[in-house]
Amino acid sequence: MHDLGVIEGDGIGPEVTAAALEVVSAAAERFGFEFTATHHDLGADHYLETGVALSAGDVERLRTHDALLLGAVGDPRVPPGVLERGLIVALRVAFRQSVNLRPARLYPGVTSPVAGVTPENCDLVIVRENTEGLYAGGGSTVHGGTPNATAVQTSVTTAAATRECVEFAFRLAAARRKRLTLCHKTNILVEAGRLWERVVEEVGADYPDVERDYVHADAMCLHLPLNPGRFDVVVTDNLFGDIVSDLAATVIGGLGVAAGSNFNPRGTAPSMFEPIHGSAPDIAGRGWANPAAAIFSAALCLASLGERSAALACEAATVSVLAELPALAGSDMGVSTAEIGRRVAERV
């Protein structure tokens, strides 16, 4: 029995999550496992009613689950950062989800907007440190609102979290094509860069058959679209990982198909699975959202719970439905979010 906690969230979050859960139900029936899905009413409405994005009680309730599925949070009525930092980032930190895994594979039948990118040369995984860097540091502003205003935003990098992330990346690379690329900006961010390089060197000593490579974050934005085949596992810090994985999502067909997961590698708290897109208020309520990203994320969740065959079946069914869509997002997909969910569930 798998006990899932579900945060549908805002905008298209409930729409894509409903489709993902329909697919998980079909997989449960087909592969003979049981699961429960407990919904947690968090997100913009909850915040606007209570003034709190995430209480200590919410964290403890969510902690009891085996894994969490998150749709998306964010709403134009809520000031920027309140839900992103106060809910998503807070959960990543509370549950020590030090690894954000974002596969970037071009599926057969999906056309990349970048010429020359094919399913044969585009199958990489971005492993992003998920709790530190510029996202964890505090900050301050002096002379705010004046011509002399100066904002300071600090970045925090610890050997402990970096190591957890790098170890995860090497384990993954060893099970894949055995190539690990560190993506950073070590020539400018020298303190954090040195720490990342040292940890990669130390952990890498245990993986002599994994080839190591290094690419600056800016150069990555050039190499990844032009030569994705160079990369297998890319390990990187929080901010660079956020940027590079949106770029990778574009290369594989857009936010509608890009999955993500927040892993606690030590299993001391639940991991959380979420599409990398946001709540997309511009298309919410119209049935134009592609649920593939949410379904792929749910498949990653099933794999992490040991349901590997079910995960592969969900992935394959989604790929076959994607191949039939005239477009990957928006009004010209030809079918609605719910209909895509139904078709994938049937094929599972």
282 is catalytic: no
Nearest to ligand ATP of 166, 289 (CB atom): 289
Q: Does 283 bind ligand ATP (CB under 6 A)?
A: yes
Segment (H or E) for 172: helix 159-175
CA–CA distance, 11 with 83 (Å, rounded to integer) = 13
Q: Is 148 helix (H, G, I), strand (E, B) or coil?
A: coil
Among the listed ranges 128-136, 140-148, 219-227, 278-286, the one in contact with ligand ATP (CB under 6 A) is 278-286
CA dihedral for 112, 323, 245, 120, sign (positive or negative)? negative
Nearest to Mg ion of 278, 291 (CB atom): 278
- The three-point CA angle 41-270-129 to 5° equals 105
Nearest to ligand ATP of 177, 286 (CB atom): 286
Instruction: List residues near Mg ion by CB under 5 A.
Output: 278
Candidate list 47, 107, 123, 185, residue with the active-site label: 185
178 is catalytic: no
185 is catalytic: yes
Q: How far is the CB of 278 from ligand ATP (least distance, A)?
A: 2
One of 13, 133, 225, 256 touching ligand ATP (CB under 6 A) = 256
Q: How many CB atoms lie within 10 A of CB 281?
A: 16
Find, among 235, 332, 252, 238, the residue nearest to 296 by Cα.
252
Which residue's entry shows tokens 């964290």?
Answer: 59
Q: Does 280 bind ligand ATP (CB under 6 A)?
A: yes
10 Å CB burial of residue 163 (0-12, 13-18, 19+) is middle
Nearest to ligand ATP of 29, 324 (CB atom): 324
Q: Does 74 bind ligand ATP (CB under 6 A)?
A: yes
Q: Does 277 bind ligand ATP (CB under 6 A)?
A: yes
246 is catalytic: yes
Active site positions, annotated: 135, 185, 218, 242, 246
